[in-house]
Structure 1
């Protein structure tokens, strides 16, 4: 009788070993499939489509301030500014730091010379300065962090004037 039980036990051991080997192979295949298999990089068209879907314009409203004048007369500038971002979370952050962003923009606008601010090159430079100032405020949490992190994709992608009047 002892001889009859041994072949049954060895068959069970073989079946258990085969089951463990099959599970290990299936686990290795699953790991490769979900973690290690090469993933194709998105095409430029896919990136552009994703950016288009995530594009958000943030209205900062109207700004009115006086300008520097070389002849002593009083000149004013009135602009409406839009910020462009590809990250939907940035809008909430901009609203949190709106007073600081608006203050920085007003300081930039009031430092402009009334005779030169109407030139296209000066306007383009002003847009770049506004973008830099807004990104600096957002990236440093309003100046809490001493040096801004270097980032390829800043929170604000572009700045636009939706209205520009000099008097």
Structure 2
């Protein structure tokens, strides 16, 4: 019997060791799975909070309303007065309600746009920067009757310089209403 006792003790020790190893592996697997779940749920929560925050600040995304204006033919301010531009403009607006408001002021808006274009030379309007400046000026002209103001390049530069000089904590928060006239788009632009 003494010969059987050492042989029986060896399998008992190996069974205990096997159970301990399996227990440690199980704890590591469960702990790793729990850590992975925690990190994944945390990153999803951050994503949901990140995407939800701007949704509360901005209005729901809706398709814009486009209001095409009749083509305008304007004499340009070139020396000799023999150059003219034919310009087609489409306004990108927030909604149909804004389009109706713009239509009420259309004669004044068209007059202002004609005045703006007639002050430009063909060399100005042939450059991309000239067209972009004209689009910004037209945006200002369209927004004015609706009660919104669009700052000029010079005003934006002054505001940026003033913001840099002021302490951000002392600066009062300015609430600016969103202009319902989003953009000015050129549907045609011919200079002769």
TM-score range, shorter chain: 0.5 to 0.7
Query: Hey, which of these two has a bigger chunk of helix by percent?
Result: 2
Which residues of structure 2 form unaligned runs of 5+?
1-48, 149-174
- Asked which structure has the greater CA Rg, the reply is 2
Q: Does residue 152 of the first structure (1) align with residue 160 of the second (2)?
A: no
Specify whether residues 151 and 47 from structure 1 end up closer, same or farther in structure 2 by C-alpha distance, changes over 3 A only.
Answer: closer
1:164 aligns with 2:189: yes
Structure 2 CA distance for partners of 1:92 and 1:42, relative to 1, 3 Å: farther
TM-score normalised per structure 2: 0.54
Q: How many residues align?
A: 117
2:75 to 47, 53, 66: 66
Other-structure match for 2:136: 128
Contact 1:139 1:155 in 2 (8 A): no
1:65 positional shift: 0.7
Alignment of 1:37-76 (within 5 A): 43-44=53-54, 50-51=60-61, 53-70=62-79, 72-76=80-84
CA contact (8 A) 2:75 2:81 kept: no
Verify: 1:96 aligned to 2:79, yes or no.
Answer: no
SS of residue paired to 2:123: coil
**Superposed displacement of residue 137, structure 1:** 1.7
Structure 1 115/88 Cα, relative in aligned 2: closer, same or farther at 3 Å? same
- Which 4+ residue blocks in structure 1 deviate beyond 2 angstroms? 40-51
Distance 1:46 1:57 in 2: 26
- Contact 1:67/1:76, CA 8 A, preserved across alignment: yes
Change (3 A) 1:84 1:46: farther
Residue 151 of structure 2: aligned partner: none
Pairwise CA distance, 1:61: 1.6
Consecutive unaligned residues in structure 1, runs of 5 or more: 1-39, 141-149
Partner residue in 2 for 1:33: none
